[in-house]
Each structure stands twice: as structure tokens, then as C-alpha cells.
Structure 1
Amino acid sequence: MSGLFGSSASATATNTVGDLKQDVQLNNGPEDTISDVAFNPTPTDPKDFLAVSSWDKKVRIYEILGNGQGEGRHLYEHDGPVFSCDFFKDGQKVVSGGADKQAKVCDLATGQTVQVAQHDAPVRAVRYFEANGQPMVVTGSWDKTIRYWDLRQSTPAATVACQERVYTMDVRNNLLVVGTADRYINVINLAEPTKFYKTIQSPLKWQTRVVSCFTDASGFAIGSIEGRCAIQYVEDKDSSLNFSFKCHRDPTQGNVTNVHAVNDISFHPQHGTFSTAGSDGTFHFWDKDAKHRLKGYPNVGGSITATTFNKTGTIFAYAVGYDWSKGYQGNNPQYPNKVMLHPVQADECKPRPAVKKR
């Protein structure tokens, strides 16, 4: 399947058009484009904390208050633009990586930051996971490797060579998915972290922007620069469920369709539905099982560069900023640069009952 979910990329039916009126901007946001956002995942922590990494070389941590406002709690710096950030499972530490070829871990309780990883080229993606209960960090770099780091030692626990530069990476349970240049997708079972469980070429024809693991770790979504998203299951027995669909495209005018990069994909922690967000400044919620778009939202005034749900799925954070999709000339000082918090209404991300054909 390669059609659009529903009838059109631009929602026409009123019940599928989402509302941005309740969305709140974070105060004291970054000074340059936001590269990544991550919420603390700790179910026992009643508070929501949001880590925001930026091209301004800083990582900021905000506490989200009951009124939807965010308050800055901590800030630390890299020696170059920061490309990726992730919370530890306990919500007490943040890991980040960037153009300075390093990954750093910040302990929010003490405010101390330590370098935990080193690569030979910029670190494009960082993710936290646990091996036998031990905190671990995996880093993916433009030096064409991923490296695993046991935080008790200064050298990598293991290094795995990839076919090309690492562009994107995600972890869920024992599933690690690594997307590289030349459209390679490497699937790793973290029980055997130095082996590729499977390598595929992306089913999408153009450059991979993002990979994101399903909530149940049975598969992953891929977003590419040409306004298309693919749903891929890990096991061959489920391959009949794989499909791709078009999204983030302008209505066709005179045989010309403007297509936009899918910059981020985030899965809802409870419902397993997911969001796509793109260079066209829109985000959408989808149900992969019913093959249905749940909601599409109006343009937010600039490209959306990063998204995430909080642990309960009640807040959807999205970053608005210049993503260089129109080159150097597209950037200007008036371009918006902000993090927005969207309160998720009860029906927005709930799956629809699928109509099964017998």
C-alpha cells in the first residue's frame, strides 16, 4: 500500500482537523534551531521534565508545570551544535551528543556533566538503554560506527561498523534500529548488540530522516525527505503488514506537488498510535493498524524539527525552527524558533476500530 491514509494529505473533513488553540510556548527557549526533544520516562515521577538540544550548543531541561507552562531548571553546554538528547530511565540524568564528536551525561541532581563517549566525527544520535539492569548509552556517528558505552568505563564496551554515516537511531526494549546514509536500516537485538539481526534497504526511495520504534518494539516507522513514511515489522512472518504512505505534501497544482521532509516520528506511549511532523510546518496523528489518519493540524508557522510525547501521552511537544530544507537563503532572523506543548485531548490519539476485510 502506498496511498494516502484517508482521502487527502490536507485534512478536509472537520473532525480530522486538529486544534492548536491550547498549545503553549515554552519560555526561555533555545537561541538556534532545536535538534531533539525528550521527556523523562519515569512512571513513578509525577513531574514532567523536558530536555531540549539545540544548534546553539546547549541542552536545556525544563520542568512542565500544571498550567502547561515550562520553567527552566538546568542548562549545560557542548563545544558545538548538539544533535540529540535522551533521558535515562530513572529521569535523573540526560545524555546528549553533537558536532563536538562527544556524548555527555548530565546528572540533574548534582548539575555535574561528564563526557562519556568519543567518536571520530560528529555524534548524530544518542539513546539510553539497559543491559542486564546496567545503564548503557549507544551513540551513532558520521564516522560510520555505533558505539556502546558502559558508564563505569571510559572506552567503548563495543564498536559496530555501519555501511554509512549514522543519521538516526531509536531504541525500545531490546530493539535498536539504526538508519544510515544510502538508505540502509540496521536492526539490532540488544541481547546480541554487536550483530546486525537484520539489514534492509529502506523501502522509501529517498534519504532517511528518522526511524522510530513501535511502542511494543515489534517494528519501526521510517520517515524520508520525500514526504513518505514506511511501517516495517521486524519479523519476516509479519512482512505482510508492512506498507508505506504519502504525507506532508501540498495539494497538487498544475501537475506539481511540493513534497516535504518527514523530520520526526513519535509513538504514543499508551495507544501505540504515532505522529509525523515535517518541513511543511504540520503534524499529524496516525493509526497504523487501522491505516487511518486520526488528526491533521494547521501549519504552525515554520518547519517542525523534533517531537515527543510525555510518559502518559497527555502532552505532545514539538519544536519549530529552520531545518535548512530551503538552503542558506531560506534562513532569516525572523524565522520562528520555539518549543510548543500541545495538550493531547482524549480522542486525538486513540486508535480507531479497524474495518477488517474477510
Structure 2
Amino acid sequence: MSFGSPPASTTQTSSIASYDCNVPQAGNDGISSLNWSPTANFLVSSNWDSGIRCWEVQQQSAQQVMASPKAQVNHENNMPCLDTCFSADGSTVFSGGADKSVRMWQLGQTPPNNIAQQIGMHDSPVKSVGFIPSSNLVVSGGWDAKLKFWDARSPNAVGEFVLPDRVYDLDVRGNLMVVATANRHVLIYDVSGAQPREHSRKESPLKYNTRCVSCFPDQTGFAIGSIEGRVGIQYVQKVGNKDHFAFKCHRQDANVYSVNAIAFQQQFGTFATVGSDGVVTFWDKDNKQRLKAFNPIRSTIPCAAFNMQGTLFAYACSYDWSKGSAYYAPGTANEIFIHPTPEDEIKPKGSRKK
């Protein structure tokens, strides 16, 4: 299934709109994740140069945004940082990385040696982290095929699940957590109580390796993206007359590109996908419509996120290694842009005509 129309032009620029804010000091290597504070317009990135960076973002007018660098900490031994998340009150950033550690950084405090405090360890790199509001636990998923739960006050994991394979991505939204692993396994958890419990597990509806997963804002389901340029919409339980479906995206002519990230807009439940084709697209899953297709930029886009108000959309421009080392160009800029997002770009436009 596919819906909507392709981008209007193949002319490539450095950002999806000329007025997008180019975030200063975005790092010296690939950008692996972007996350907004749940309580204020603070943006945090993780980076392959080991850095975790924070900016304060101010929207000064409909098309004018300013981002001010606030602080940076690192993982040890210059090892890549692969993901971050915020605590529910926005005071603390948690991270996971190739040094196998789970770390904590309290914003406004500079830790010793500028290294974020270690609160946990895996046996292999930590691919993804999340924060569970109901229990105030940090969850981490690693390439050791383990899901671990951490209380920042304790050096030992307070819980652990052994998974079918390596973790590729996880997402927590309220009481719902979804974990995607290698070989297309998808595990769904209820994290409403003190002890997370597995709700169900299934095979991905997509035929190829999972790249990303993101829970719906209303927690009724999740979207999953793969390397084949396809997104699956899945419901945890039957919801009215809504059914699972999948659609094609991030394809140009005969070329198929990875869906690198799926970012939901909190207010409307619509979402963005970004991919290895350098394209950002806004979608409405309920009406099965493409809302906005931006022209491709001159870079792959590895990650993206909406702020809590849904008025600002951050996206990174850096090589995602989708074509291997042969296509890596040393000296290529690693950039982050912030796109002011008016309602007419991301708000549902009504039911699709039949």
C-alpha cells in the first residue's frame, strides 16, 4: 500500500525549508538520536563522537527559531553514544552507548572529567534507552539481547528480560513499551505498575530488518519502520474499526531507502518519517494520508523528533552508513536543523475521499 504523492522536486538543499534553524556546535561525527525535554524546549543529541549535547531553543516568530548551546558531556574513551532519553521532570538525561554503559547526566551540573555518571552496564553496546514514568526506572536495550531496568540510586539492575535477539530500537510512551530486535521480533510490554510485564510478542509485519519503532501518543499501538522503505501501523488491541496496515515510503524510482526514524506529534497523533533518501514526510495514519512531502536534502537523515507542543521539528543530517564505508565522505558536515511546524503542515486534513 502507498498513499499521497511524491515530493514536488528533486532539487537538493541543505535543509527542508530555507528558514530552518541550523543548530550550532552539532558535533564532529554522526548524530545517533535527538530528544526534546518533556517540560521545556531543551533539545538533546547523542553522537558518534561520544558527546551528549544540549541546546535551549526559543521560537521568536512563526519562522524564526534560535538554538543556544548550553552544555556537553561524554561517554568514556571516546566511544559512541547511541541514544538518550529524559526523566519525566526534564531534569535528567539518560544515555546508552558503545562503551556498554548506561549513564546519567543531571542538566545544569558538570560531572567530574565531563563524563556522564555510569548507572548500569550491559555485556555489549547499549542501542536504546527509555524512561518509565510510572516506576521512575530507566530501561536499556543492548546488543547482548537483554533488556535491563535501572534505579539511578542503585548500581545493580532492578530487573532484566532476556530477549530473542539484539535490540535495534525501543520506545516508551506512558504505560506502553515496544521493543524491536534483530530477526524481526517485536515485544510489547505493560509498564503501568512497579514491575514491567510482557503483554505479547509478535513478528514484524514488515519483511526486512527493523530500523525504528515509535509508540502512538494515545498508547493504543505503534509504528515500525524497516530498511525496505516501508512502515507498519500496529494496534496492541482491537480499536474500533481500525486495522493494522503497512505502506511504502522513502522510495525514488527503483531505489528503496531505509526508514531511519518515526516521530509522532503529540497533539494530533500524526507523525513524521525520515530516511536514507534525505526526505522528511509528514503522515496521518488515521486517514491514511500523506500530509506534507518535503524536497530531499543533500544528506541522509538518521533521526528526528517533535517537541512536546508539536510546534518544532528537529532533524539531523549526517551519514547513516546505509551504503557502507565506500560512500562515506570525510569532512561531510554533521548538522541538526529545527523546522518550525505550523498546524497546516501536521494537522489532519479530514477523511480521505473514496
TM-score after normalising by structure 1 = 0.91
Offset at 1:262? 0.1
Give 5+ residue unaligned stretches, structure 1: 13-17, 252-256
Deviations 1:290-329 (A, max 9, x none): 0000000111210000100011111000001000111111
Aligned residues: 338
Residues 1:165 and 1:58: Cα distance change in structure 2 (over 3 Å): same
Offset at 1:345? 1.6
Partner residue in 2 for 1:92: 91
Q: Distance in 2 between matches of 1:92 and 1:61?
A: 12
Question: Is 1:60 aligned with 2:53?
Answer: yes
Q: Distance in 2 between matches of 1:32 and 1:334?
A: 9
Partner residue in 2 for 1:71: 68
Partner residue in 2 for 1:128: 131
What are the residue-to-residue correspondences of 1:229-240 with 2, within 5 Å? Answer: 229-236=231-238
Structure 2 SS opposite 1:196: strand
Question: Is 1:114 aligned with 2:117?
Answer: yes
Partner residue in 1 for 2:147: 146
Structure 2 SS opposite 1:32: coil
Q: Which runs of 4+ in 1 moved over 6 A?
A: none
Offset at 1:160? 0.4
Partner residue in 1 for 2:181: 180
Offset at 1:182? 0.2
Offset at 1:356? 7.5
Partner residue in 1 for 2:12: none
Identity %: 41
Offset at 1:26? 0.4
TM-score after normalising by structure 2 = 0.92
Partner residue in 1 for 2:284: 287
Equivalent in 12, 16, 20 of residue 17 of structure 2: 20
Q: Distance in 1 between matches of 2:16 and 2:108?
A: 37
Taking only aligned residues, the RMSD between alpha carbons, in angstroms, comes to 1.7
Offset at 1:242? 0.6
Equivalent in 257, 270, 277 of residue 267 of structure 2: 270
Residue pair 1:322, 1:336 contacting (<8 A) in 2 also:
no
Question: Is 1:104 aligned with 2:103?
Answer: yes
Q: Distance in 1 between matches of 2:6 and 2:244?
A: 20
Deviations 1:242-292 (A, max 9, x none): 1000000002xxxxx100000000000111000000000001000000000
Offset at 1:194? 4.8
Once the two structures are overlaid, the 10-residue window that deviates more, 284-293 or 111-120, is 111-120
Structure 1 SS opposite 2:136: strand
What are the residue-to-residue correspondences of 1:1-358 with 2, within 5 Å? Answer: 3-6=1-4, 8-11=5-8, 20-42=17-39, 45=40, 48-67=41-60, 68-79=65-76, 80-112=79-111, 113-131=116-134, 134-191=135-192, 193-236=195-238, 241-251=243-253, 257-355=254-352
Q: Distance in 1 between matches of 2:23 and 2:226?
A: 28
Structure 1 SS opposite 2:255: coil
Structure 2 SS opposite 1:95: strand
Q: Distance in 2 between matches of 1:239 and 1:201?
A: 22
Residue pair 1:9, 1:247 contacting (<8 A) in 2 also:
no
Deviations 1:195-225 (A, max 9, x none): 3211110000000000000010100000000
Specify the code of the residue in structure 2 equivalent to 1:118. Answer: M
Once the two structures are overlaid, the 10-residue window that deviates more, 276-285 or 113-122, is 113-122
Q: Distance in 2 between matches of 1:146 and 1:236?
A: 27
Partner residue in 2 for 1:15: none
Residues 1:318 and 1:195: Cα distance change in structure 2 (over 3 Å): same
Residue pair 1:230, 1:243 contacting (<8 A) in 2 also:
yes
Structure 2 SS opposite 1:178: strand
Structure 1 SS opposite 2:133: strand
Residue pair 2:223, 2:231 contacting (<8 A) in 1 also:
yes
Offset at 1:346? 2.3
Residue pair 2:288, 2:352 contacting (<8 A) in 1 also:
no
Offset at 1:332? 0.8
Q: Distance in 2 between matches of 1:342 and 1:224?
A: 25
Q: Distance in 1 between matches of 2:89 and 2:171?
A: 18
